Structure 1
Amino acid sequence: MDNLSACATCFGAPDAPMTKGMNMAILTLLGVTGSVMGMAGTMFIVLRRRARMLREKLNDNSIKESED
């Protein structure tokens, strides 16, 4: 029976270049995903603030018109 051996990543050799490359790829993907999710969250916060400002502006205009 032939001996089988796993690659450095599967075997778990922490100093192997493949393992270091895989770890950097994982960190890069986590960074990209976190950035996109952060930008989406920021967009919803900005939209909520703008909606609130518009609602207050419309309410102020309707009050001024009813006083005239």
Structure 2
Amino acid sequence: MSGLEMERLLTVQEVADVLRVSRWSVGRYIEAGALEAIKGDGPNGTVRIPLRSLSAYIEAHTVGPGDQP
């Protein structure tokens, strides 16, 4: 067996629920490069967001004490 581990992949709706934004907003974050996404084959391939990408996005956008919101 190789050292490749399967990472948890989230749907656009799951990411939208976590961030409390619309699916449309998640799509814009992906297009802007703020979130990494994996698209399945074909014109209607499903889009999945790696959990590590969502975690990195949240960490990068977390405002701490003294930061401007």
Same fold (TM over 0.5): no
TM-score, normalised on structure 2? 0.30
Bigger strand share: 2
TM-score, normalised on structure 1? 0.30
Bigger helix share: 1
